[in-house]
Every structure is written in structure tokens, then in C-alpha cells.
Amino acid sequence: MPYHKEWKRVVLITTLIAGVLCLNYFTLYRMTYEHAFYRVLSYVPLILGSFWFGIRGALTIAIGMILLFFPYGMAHWHGFSLEDFHEILEGALYLAIALILGVLVERERKKHRALVEAESLAAVGRAVSEVAHDMKTPLMAIGGFAAQVDRALEGEDPKR
């Protein structure tokens, strides 16, 4: 991937992460519906990062989001209430989704590379087959001419 294109993708993902975190941090805690929506928005950079950068990108984004969201979670900690347990499980789910997406993207890329290699080998095979067929015609003519000359010459002829 060209460096310039990769850099744009990194900037976009970083901007998305910063936006989601700002929305979470600067929205009042009691606005639960908005926070639920922001948690769903946090999956967008994860999905983009896994598609663009594979498992390494997915894990980097997931761990980064968890670490950046950690101070917010600690500021609103209720002494391990049911809501806190839900937040911990959601973080684990976020990490699991990152792993699954990363593995699936890497597997798909590997299949694509194998398919491209198989197609290029098939193209080389077709080209070699065409060359062999094209070379067969003049060789057959030369062989036929040599057989005619061989039959026309006597057994003791020095030209033979």
C-alpha cells in the first residue's frame, strides 16, 4: 500500500477515535442513550482498521480504545456494580471482535494472494502452451524435409 494512502487512513482512524472519545468524555454521564450510541460508534474505527491493516491494526485500535476509555470508566466506577461488570464485558467483547475481524481479514488476504498467484501461474502455463504449439509447426516442416532428403540420398552419399 502506498505510504500516502496509508497515512490518510491512519489519520482518519485517529480522528474517528478522538471524536468518539470526545463525545463520551464531554457528554453528561446521566445521558445513557447518547453514551450507548457512542459505544456503537466506537466500532467504526475498529472495523475500518481491521479491514485496512489486518489483525495488527484491529488489535492496536482495540487496545488503544480500551486504554483511552479506561479513565472515563474509572471516573464513573460504582464499586463493581452490575453496570461496571457490563462495561468490563463490553471491553472484552470489543477485544474479541477485534481478534475475530483481524483473523478473518488476514485469512481473506491470504486466500486472495493464493488466487492471484494461481491465476498468474495459469497465464504462464497458457503462454508456454501457445509457444510450444507455435514451435511445433516449423519443427514438423523441418523434420519432414529432413526425412525427404534422407530418403532421396543414397546410403553411401557423403552429403548424408
pLDDT of residue 47: 92
154 in a structural domain: no
pLDDT values of the chain reduced to their tens digit, one per residue, 160 residues: 677 788 999 999 999 999 999 998 888 878 888 888 988 899 999 999 999 999 999 999 999 999 998 888 888 777 878 877 888 888 899 999 999 999 999 999 999 999 999 999 988 888 888 887 778 777 777 777 777 777 777 777 676 5
10 in a structural domain: yes
74 in a structural domain: yes
pLDDT of residue 30: 82
- CA-closest candidate to residue 104, choices 116, 96, 94, 115: 96
If one counts the domains in the chain, the total is: 1
Check: CB of residue 68 under 8 Å from CB of residue 21.
yes
pLDDT of residue 69: 86
136 in a structural domain: no
82 in a structural domain: yes
What CA–CA distance (Å, rounded) separates 12 from 98?
Answer: 18
Q: Which domain holds residue 73?
A: 3-108
19 in a structural domain: yes
pLDDT of residue 14: 93
115 in a structural domain: no
Q: Please report the sign of the dihedral spanned by the C-alpha atoms of residue 103, residue 108, residue 113, residue 115.
A: positive
pLDDT of residue 71: 87
pLDDT of residue 99: 93
pLDDT of residue 119: 92
159 in a structural domain: no
